[in-house]
Structure 1
Amino acid sequence: MTLSVSSVREGHLVELVDADGVAVGSATVADAHTAPGQLHRAFSVFLRDADGRVLLQQRAPVKTRFPLRWANTCCGHPLPGEPVTVGAARRLVEEIGIADIPLTEVGVYAYYAEDPATGRVEYEYDHVLVGDLPSHVRASPDPDEVADLRWIDVPALLTDLENDPRSYAPWLHGVTQRLSDGH
């Protein structure tokens, strides 16, 4: 039997943190996302084009949390003790097929969300990162991670999030606010 990428990733370790983002231990991805959840470090990356639009991904149908919802360009978890930007750069390659984009942190968004479809939870201390995508670089998303991609400007995204929140991952509004506040 072949394990899916999502199944393998569920066994990876994440860094547990307190409410201030101080590391307090580790757990597997699966354990950290099982109700009631454990607060852990995460990141949400936005890539921007020259016009200031952000690249969104529609999460693949095999995702264990919020499948087929629209989200920021890429998200994930650094390994325990790993710098957030290093983990984020790794996930950009794995999810979107894009490497070597400098990332800047623009804020942190802590949140809790339950996925009614899967029963899994997100309880994350989420570092929001942004990077500028050169026009000659093209995404090559992994279909096990990403169902679709689209560009949108931030004001239009904020309007969509207000009008149709169920089409989007529950963290997207908060991380988009950090992006618009930070840049």
Structure 2
Amino acid sequence: MDPTQEKYLQDEKCFLIDEFDIVLGSASKEQCHLVQNDGNVKLHRAFSVFLFNSKEELLLQKRSPYKVTYPNRYSNTCCSHPLANIEEEDEEFNALGVKRAAIRKLHHELGIQPHEISLDDAIYVARIHYKDPGDGKYGEHEIAYIIIIKKDVQLSLNFNEVSEVKYVARDKIDEFLRETNAELTPWMELLIKNGNLGYWWDNLERIGDLANDDKIIRFNIKSN
């Protein structure tokens, strides 16, 4: 395992939550992604950023080969977690803690300077709940906040996190995925197949009006 990624697994503390996104405590990133003997993975809070430029092209990333979960797969712009051991990332009003975490990770993974994106630029539109067994050792079980940003930014890739990026137009994404034979992260695949990404993409000009912070979109998961 890459030593940098291994350190993140041990040092980062993610928020453990229930199915209604209520915080129950925290655990290491590794504990939150280990597939247990019964096949379960601890439910934790996450986010997924979809960043579009002024031409409404979506910035896709290919995850680095060093990543513990889903290496070398294509995904949306940035995916990670608000952390319990970082100040103010627990603030829940208007998803401010998650937005702060998103800005932090955009800088860490893609070199986007924090002054380039404000909290107001980060539009929280929905939450999704999904589960995936990954490689059988490390998997996912998250309620992820969908954050949409429309901004032109400067990039400087952290190759320990991201191997390549590409801006893709709305009418070219199917062709891009087909021609590259791209293997997607499970959440990205779900959002494409179920039409969520297309709906948000088609409505970028009024994306703030589409925000639904009450409903959690559940993919193949039943709530109690």
Task: Map Cα deviations across residues 28-54 of structure 1 (whole Å, 9 max, x no partner).
Answer: 000000012111000001110112111
1:149 has 2:148 as partner: no
Q: Distance in 1 between matches of 2:181 and 2:42?
A: 24
Matched positions, count: 178
Q: Is the 8 A contact 1:59 1:66 kept in 2?
A: yes
Call closer, same or farther: CA 1:17–1:164 in 2, change over 3 Å.
farther
1:7 aligns with 6
Larger radius of gyration: 2
Name the counterpart of 1:78.
Answer: 82
Where has structure 1 moved over 4 Å in runs of 4 or more? 158-166
Distance verdict in 2 for CA 1:162–1:42, change over 3 Å: farther
1:69 to 49, 70, 73: 73
Structure 2 residue runs of 5 or longer lacking an equivalent are 85-89, 92-96, 204-224
Q: Which residue of 1 aligns with 2:111?
A: 97
Q: Indicate if the aligned counterparts of 1:71 and 1:172 stay in contact, CA closer than 8 A.
A: yes
Question: 8 Å contact 1:128–1:175 — kept in the other structure?
Answer: no
Q: Where does residue 46 of structure 1 map in the other structure?
A: 50
> Would the aligned equivalents of 2:57 and 2:167 in 1 still touch at CA under 8 Å?
yes
Q: Indicate the residue corresponding to 1:37 in structure 2.
A: 41
Flag the structure with higher strand content.
Answer: 1
Q: Contact 1:96–1:140 at 8 Å: present in 2 too?
A: yes
Structure 1: unaligned runs, 5 residues or longer: none
- Structure 1 distance, partners of 2:77, 2:3, is 21
| Structure 1 pair 180–22 and aligned structure 2 pair: CA distance change class (3 A) | farther
Classify the secondary structure of the residue corresponding to 1:95. Answer: helix
Mapped partners of 2:181, 2:14: distance in 1: 27
Percent of aligned pairs with the same residue?
A: 29
The residue number in structure 1 matching 2:210 is: none
Q: Deviations over 1:80-101 (max 9, x none)?
A: 3251000110000000000231
| Matches of 1:26 and 1:178, distance apart in 2 | 29
Cα root mean square deviation, aligned: 2.3
TM-score (norm 2): 0.72
Residue 150 to residue 46, structure 1, CA distance change in 2 (3 Å) = same
Moved more, 61-70 or 99-108: 99-108
CA displacement at 1:154 relative to structure 2: 3.7
Asked whether the equivalents of residues 74 and 182 of structure 2 are also in contact (C-alpha less than 8 Å), the reply is: no
What secondary structure does 1:171 align onto? helix
The 1-side partners of 2:181 and 2:13 are apart by 30
Alpha-carbon distance in 1 for matches of 2:141, 2:178: 22
